[in-house]
Each structure stands twice: as structure tokens, then as C-alpha cells.
Amino acid sequence: MQPLTGSIKRYDWGSVDAIPRLLGIPVDGQPVAEYWLGAHPLGVSQLNGGTALDKAIESDPSMIGDSARHEFGGRLPYLVKLLSAARPLSLQAHPNLADAQAGYERENRVQLPIDSPERTYRDPWDKPELIIALTQFEALAGFRDPKVTADLLSRLGIAPHTETLFAPLRHRSPAAGLAEVFLDCLVLDEERRGAVTDVVTAAVHHLDAQGELGEFARTAVLLDEHFPGDPSLLAALLLNRRNLQPGEALHLRPGTMHAYLSGTGVEVMGSSDNVLRGGLTNKHIDASALVQVVDFTPQQMPVLRPDKEAPGLWHYMAGERAFATWRIDAAPGRMIELPAELSGRILLVTSGEVGLSTGPDGLILQCGQSAFIGASEQVWASGDGQAFLVATGMDA
């Protein structure tokens, strides 16, 4: 095992202080949105002594384990991030493996540069995700039952001509109605902008309402504060809103439309940069690709809570081959054997102090520090703090 240093990503939606405080670095007044740990080409982590993780894996493929070598082409198949959002991110979804491979080949055939803003597929890999809240975390994820959404809009008291825009939610099959309305809300014209004004104006009168209506109204007003007049705000209102408490998670399978609104968390994902944006952004939106990739089937998006495997060891059962995730709650007098010995693992400390030992060797990690643990290394954790451990998936 070796200390591992990640890379900081500054995007304008990031919070100023949350990630710097976790990492123990100065707050400089500029947004810090993400901190990446892994071997992704856009943010390769460094091992002790400055060796790039991807180069170390290339030199010694055994360090990531047989599953990653055989199933994922010798690459580390997951990426671990700290993510902190001060304002809403774009509406987005990620492709499954077949769509990613086909899209990547298609854009390569027309010689679209990898860094082109018109490019959708930057690699041939899928991107399942797991977001685990470190603070209260707000997100939109998965499509709500369309009839419930239509009823919420009616309860807001919107004008009849605006209700007409959402009529397919009541009169088409659930998936077809959602797809029709979602894509229609991406059209930038005065009629849709007028509908946004109507919905937001009506929502202002229900901000103090209890239950789902109040939450729906507050979501509309929040999005309008950051994306005033943007018709894709209406598309975002088709999604479930989920409020996570620390330790709770959302599992986002490929094809799930989502948008993070606020909060700080640990994000674990397939190591890919494929993002299909569906609104609340100035970046490229490929409507034809969205139709192929996005799952418009209504889904409830339950909050995922970890299962206890042993004292201080909690497993987030996502069922992905690219990654498996555990929370480590270290406490004085407690020795926790780290799972997934056959996989290369990344451990990130998010509070307190966690010590790692292999018997003869030891490593003390403070909040914000991390380590790479090679396959076949039997490691125990102790101390007084919290950490997250990620390995190649074992529970699919």
C-alpha cells in the first residue's frame, strides 16, 4: 500500500471551502468542485514518490487484480471523487457499455476531436455512479410517475395553455409521455419561456406548502434562480427530488437522468468521461443521443443505505462490476479487516485519523488523505475516524 494524491477540479458550480477543508489545504476563494482519485487520463493520481498511478499499473498489472485485468482491459475500472456543489449541476445521463462503444466508434469515424465541445463520447466505457452524502445532499434523479407530476403542476395553479404542454404526461404511456415532454422542454422559444414564467410564478405561492407540493415548488424556484427562463427547468421538474442525509446514497445506473443540486459527498463511478447533457447548461445537448440512451421509464429512486458486514464495516450494495464500496468506521480498540483482497483498492479518509497495517508495515492517514492498496495485500484498519474503501465490483 502507498499514499495516493489526487487531482483538484475547479468548476464554477463547486463550493469554495468544503473540499479544501476536507483536504486540509488553504481556502483561496475559488470554487473547488471535485477531487479525483484514480487513473482516469483527465486526472491521474500520484503514488508516493510521484509515480503516476496509470504508469504504475502499466508496469505491474497484478496490482489491480485479475478482475480488472481480464474484464476491463487492464485498466482501473473505477474513479473515486470528492464532490461539493454550491449550486445545481446540469441535467445529465451516462451511457451503458453498448451505447458508449457504438457512440465512441461513430464519433471517431467522423474524426470529431476528443476535446471538441460537440463530442459526446470521449471513451468506450459506461459510467454507473454511486453518490454517498457527507453532508445533507440534494439531488434530482430518475423520472417521477408522470401522472403525479401532472397533478403537482395542476395544484400549483398554472394557466391552461401551460397545462397543454404537459398533456402527454396524462394521455400517453408513461415512458412515451415523459420522453415527449422532456424533449419538448429543450426547445428554446418564447412559448416555452412563457411556460417557465408561469410555472415559477405559480410555485412562489406554494413555497411553504407541506409535503411533495412544497418541495416541487421550491425546486422550481431554486432552478429559476440559477437558470432564469431556461425551458429545460421544466424538464428537470419531471424528476424525483431526493434529500440525502450523511451516510445515505443514490445509485445511478446508466441511462438515469439526474442533476445534483447541492451538498458534499463521495462519488464512486465507472472510470469514464461520457456525459450526455439534457439541460440546465450552455454546453452541447445531443437530443438524438438522449433518446437512445436515457431511460424514460418512471422509477422511484430509493435511498440506498449500507449493510453492516462487521463491526465498523458497512457495504453499499450497488451490484456493479466496475466498483464496490464500503464505509469504514474506525474506533479505538477496533481492528477492521479490509475486504476485496483480490482487487486493487483506494481508501479515502473523510474524518479523523485511520491507520492501515499489513503486519510489518503501517500507514497513518489523516482526514483528506488516501492510499492505494494493491491486490493480494491483506490490510487492517484502526484509529478513530471514517473512510471509504473502493474496489473492483465483487457483488454483481
Do residues 271 and 122 make contact, with C-beta atoms less than 8 angstroms apart? no
End-of-domain residue from the set 180, 206, 237: 237
User: What is the gyration radius of the CA atoms in the chain, in angstroms?
Assistant: 22
Would residue 14 count as lying in a domain?
no
pLDDT at 203: 98
End-of-domain residue from the set 196, 220, 237: 237
Residue type, position 217, single letter: A
Its domain, for residue 172, covers 145-237
Q: What is the pLDDT of residues 281-330, one digit of tens each?
A: 988 888 888 888 999 999 999 999 999 999 999 999 999 999 999 999 99
CA distance 251 to 133: 12
Would residue 249 count as lying in a domain?
no
Three-state DSSP state, 337: strand
pLDDT at 394: 66
Catalytic-role residue among 192, 241, 242, 277:
277
Q: How far is CA 329 from the centre of its chain?
A: 23
Would residue 124 count as lying in a domain?
no
Identify how many contiguous H helices and E strands the chain contains and give both numbers.
Answer: 12, 20
Identify whether residues 231 and 312 lie together within a single domain.
no
Tell me, what CATH number does 371's domain have? 2.60.120.10
Would residue 320 count as lying in a domain?
yes
Do residues 316 and 326 make contact, with C-beta atoms less than 8 angstroms apart? yes
Do residues 309 and 361 make contact, with C-beta atoms less than 8 angstroms apart? no
- The answer for residues whose C-beta is within 8 angstroms of residue 375's C-beta and 6 or more apart is 62, 63, 64, 65, 66, 341, 342, 343, 344
pLDDT at 283: 84
Residue type, position 144, single letter: R
Give the number of residues written for the chain. Answer: 396
277 is catalytic: yes
The dihedrals phi and psi of 8, each to the nearest 5 degrees, come to: -90, 140
Q: What is the pLDDT of residues 163-190, one digit of tens each?
A: 999 999 999 999 999 999 999 999 888 9
- pLDDT, one tens digit for every residue, the chain (396 residues): 999 999 999 999 999 999 999 999 999 999 999 999 999 998 999 999 899 999 999 999 999 999 999 999 999 999 999 999 999 999 999 999 999 999 999 999 999 998 888 888 989 999 999 999 999 999 999 999 999 999 999 999 999 999 999 999 999 999 999 999 999 999 888 999 999 999 999 999 999 999 999 999 999 999 999 999 999 999 999 999 999 999 999 999 999 999 999 999 999 999 998 999 999 998 888 888 888 899 999 999 999 999 999 999 999 999 999 999 999 999 999 999 999 999 999 999 999 999 999 977 799 999 999 999 999 999 999 999 999 999 999 654
**pTM higher than 0.85, yes or no?**
yes
Would residue 9 count as lying in a domain?
no
Would residue 182 count as lying in a domain?
yes
- How many domains would you assign to the chain? 2
The share of the chain scoring above pLDDT 70, in percent, equals 99
DSSP 67-102: HHHHHSTTS--EEEEEEEESSPPPEEE---HHHHHH
Residue type, position 232, single letter: S
CA distance 177 to 325: 36
Would residue 174 count as lying in a domain?
yes
End-of-domain residue from the set 202, 237, 272: 237
pLDDT at 165: 95
Would residue 150 count as lying in a domain?
yes
Three-state DSSP state, 201: helix
Neighbours of 35 (CB within 10 A): 27
